Amino acid sequence: MNKIWTIFKREYLSRVKTKGFLIGTAITPILLLFFALGPQFLFRMKSENVNKLAVVDQNGSVEKKLTESLSDTLESGVKEFQLMNVTVDTSQIDSMKSILNSRINANSLDGYIIIPHDIYDTHHFEYYAKNIDFDLRSRLQNSVSRIIINNRIQKSNLDPELIHSLTQRTYVNSFKITSSGKEEKEVGLSFALTFIMMMFLYMALIMYGMFVMRSVYEEKTSRVVEVIVSSCRPFQLMAGKVFGVGAVGLTQYLIWTIAAGLLTLYSTNMIRIFSGSADSVPIPTIPIAVLIYFIVFFILGYLLYATLYATFGALVTTDQDAQQFQFPVTILILVAFFFSFYIIRNPNSQLSVIASLIPFFAPLTMFTRISTFMPPFNQIILSIVILILTIILLIWIGGKIFRIGILMYGKRPTVPEILKWIRYK
């Protein structure tokens, strides 16, 4: 036990004290935020460019109203859209197009649209530009579409206002019933929360699992291992490493949780300051039971996969092997991860129940079920018991493989050889 502690201490300190740990701890949440919010943020960022568009309105009923509709101004006060009306005979449309094309290539024009004279029958118009801006395209489509509809309504001698009020869309407001019987306004945030926690579990299993694996095979390839196993049992080395890296993971997650807590508190205050009340934006809270299960499945999942990774790490003899040996373990986590996406939508289907009882998937799948729709308690307990029994079995088998593998150099062991090691007393 003392030796496990000594190995644990070294493993933990030699990782936590590095610059890599500090940088990793700081950068990971930033990267996550960037990937989660970045694209949306960039997408919503308004362009500050003036759009010079030529409108070839062969029908004649659209151009004027389109100019009225596209009247946005930029922050600088300049109009965003500068529309230029072009009239041309149908017979000369092609020569006009080539004139406009050359103006686009000379950058004096951003694009042009052609409204055909029979647009009321064909339901299509054309948009030409060097860069088809997705945003602008849908903006043009919406505007022209609305103009055409309004023109049709007017032609039919109906009141557009009346039509719009009659065809007003209806929206749904959803509420989630919590276990305490309260109703909570659901704005998709608790779904996002499940997703984030699932993501964190998935990341932790892969990341720290691979840390353990690398730690084991680096020890082996640098030949430190012979000195270490002459001072302790190989099993103690394996346990010390698994616990040591696990503690690093817990430390990192603890830092992130505290940071996230502070950030939530801070952002709630910010919302309060800006909107005058915090009630309008409900901050989703994680039920304490879910949080406890998160920790339970984090630890059990980590133990299961760290043992697997450590065992495979002991078989590695070269860096190329490492790639091959981590693959089968990583694929298990990936499958579990994909199952979880299915489970978020179908938390109680038969497939979900089965998937949450398979020990290799349970850390992710059972937790996803718990966090989406609390399953029956006996299923949770069954899943945890199966998981613990599997971990014990894996530690037992892994310990045997580890003991021999850790001192094997040169030739890569074959599967029958490994099976022989397991039967070895």
- Of 18 and 102, CB closest to another protein: 18
For residue 54, the cross-strand partners are 84, 112
CB of 225 to another protein, least distance (A): 7
- Of 14 and 268, CB closest to another protein: 14
Distance from C-alpha of 318 to C-alpha of 307, rounded to nearest angstrom: 20
Contact positions vs another protein (CB under 8 A)? 2-3, 6-7, 10, 14, 18, 222-233, 407
- Of 23 and 132, CB closest to another protein: 23
CB of 302 to another protein, least distance (A): 24
- Of 226 and 279, CB closest to another protein: 226
- Of 270 and 422, CB closest to another protein: 422
Can you state the percent helix, strand and coil of the chain, rounding each to 5? 70, 10, 25
CB of 233 to another protein, least distance (A): 7
Distance from C-alpha of 56 to C-alpha of 114, rounded to nearest angstrom: 5
Q: Which residue is listed with tokens 């004096």?
A: 108
CB of 204 to another protein, least distance (A): 24
Distance from C-alpha of 422 to C-alpha of 371, rounded to nearest angstrom: 38
> Do residues 336 and 360 lie in contact, with contact meaning Cβ atoms separated by under 8 Å?
yes
Contacts of 137 (CB under 8 A, 6+ apart): 127
- Of 238 and 333, CB closest to another protein: 238
Q: Which residue is listed with tokens 């959803």?
A: 174
CB of 413 to another protein, least distance (A): 11
Quick one: CA torsion of 130, 132, 138, 139, rounded to 10 degrees? -40
Helix (H) or strand (E) run with residue 117 in it: none
CB of 404 to another protein, least distance (A): 8
